[in-house]
Structures are given as C-alpha cells and as structure tokens.
Amino acid sequence: MFGLLLWAGTAAANASVAYSNLGSPPQFDDQNGWLVDGGVVAGQMLAVAFTPSQMIQPTQAQLALGNIFSNLAQIPIDVSLALDSSGLPGGLLAGLQLAGGQNIGPFLPGNLVNFVCSSACPTLNAGQQYWLVVQVVGTGLDVFESQGEWNWNVNQDYSNGSNFAYNDTQFGGGWTYVDSSFLRPAFEVGNAPEPSSVLLFGSGVLGVAGFVKRRWLKM
C-alpha cells in the first residue's frame, strides 16, 4: 500500500528535537514512500510512533510529503499528535495545520513541509510514546479521490512491529501494525527551526507505471 521519494532545497534544523529520522542535513527518499489515501484505496491513514528523550513542548512537525493527485488547490492532508493506547494510536493530543507559506508539492519528488499546532502545543514527556498520524480528511468526491505520499526515511529507521501502523478506514478494522522490516516515513517533531540546506539523495526519476507497481504493498 505504500510509495517512494527525496527533495533538495531549504529545510530546517531544530534547536530541540523530540524525534527525527531526517538526519543532518535533513534528507529523505524522493523516489519512494507510503500512500496516504482519501478513499480510492481504502482510505489509508498512517501513523508512526516516537518517544522523546527529554520533556519538550514542540512547536512543529516536519514531514516529507508529496501530492499524487487532488482536484483541490491544496491536497487535504491532516496531521495530528496522538497518545499511545496499548501500543497503537489512541486519543487525539493535538491537531496540526500546514504552516503559513508552506505547500505540499507534487510526487515525484515531494518536499519537506512544516505543520504547526493549531493551538498551543502540549508538553511531551520524556520516555513516553506518542504517535504522529497522517490522513486525508474531508467529504466529497474531490477528497475521496485525493492521494498523497509520505516519503521514506534514508537513515535505516525501520518498523519493528510496534512503531508504525496503518488504518484502512473503509474496512473499519482499526489500526494494524506494519510488522515487518519496512522503512518508516521521514519526519521530525521539535521546536522552531533555523534555516539549513537539504542534501539531495538519490538520482533519476521513476516512471509513473513503475511507481504504481511498487506502491501497493499488502500487509
């Protein structure tokens, strides 16, 4: 069920970080990633777990995202922080919105975008697991047909069966572990950034047909 990617441009280096698999300088796979879907392919939501090493009140989340298809001016991707519930995403902790001036570009290749808390961000406790949840939200045919991509990391951050989950909302089965050695998507949760450059990773562009063949992984 997933896809692939990387980008070059201006990104961010956070002074204080709750979790990051972007590396320094920030980088991600601009050719591959996991599908975020509005309903055409089961309404797929994605979630990754992270555990802060220190108490922190984050101001933003940075994600590597791309727009595969949407009739809307901006693909309706929703990002939120959630509590942990027995090793799966639980109750909503905070909603995040696309920061001013940010735009989710097309996939291929996608780009790093900043999301900020819609109200004051909550304090995250050291040693406690949280989840970053990404989905396409809204009603209507345009939303149903919208598809995005959450790009893979390139720092060997893999799923271990308890830190990466998906939810096919059309089937109503709830959250399911991705319980094999799949790359987790690229993201960072932390404080306000200082400008830095992004390292271009990889080369070449996959054809659309090749991408379609590779992105539909079944668990």
User: Which residue from 47, 38, 117 is spatially nearest to 82, judged by alpha carbons?
Assistant: 47
SS3 65: strand
The pairing of strands 130-136 and 77-85 is antiparallel
What is the average per-residue pLDDT within 89-101?
A: 95
SS3 136: strand
How far is CA 110 from each of CA 39, 49, 142, 168, rounded to the nearest angstrom? 21, 22, 20, 23
Q: Is the dihedral of CA 115, 17, 90, 40 positive or negative?
A: positive
Give 197-207 pLDDT, tens digit per residue. 333 333 332 33
- Residue carrying the six token digits 């959450």: 150
Domain interval for residue 168: 2-215
**Residue 31: pLDDT band with limits 50, 70, 90:** very high
Q: Does 189 have pLDDT greater than 80?
A: yes
* pTM for the model: 0.81
d(CA 60, CA 49): 16
Give 68-80 pLDDT, tens digit per residue. 999 999 999 999 9
Give 135-144 pLDDT, tens digit per residue. 999 889 999 9
C-beta neighbour count of 164 within 10 angstroms: 23
How much is the CA Rg of the chain, to the nearest whole Å?
16
The reported pLDDT for the residue numbered 15 is: 63
The reported pLDDT for the residue numbered 129 is: 97
> Domain tally for the chain?
1
How far is CA 190 from each of CA 68, 116, 140, 150, 176, rounded to the nearest angstrom? 27, 10, 34, 18, 26
pLDDT higher at 175 or 118: 175
SS3 215: helix
User: Which residue from 184, 190, 163 is spatially nearest to 11, judged by alpha carbons?
Assistant: 190
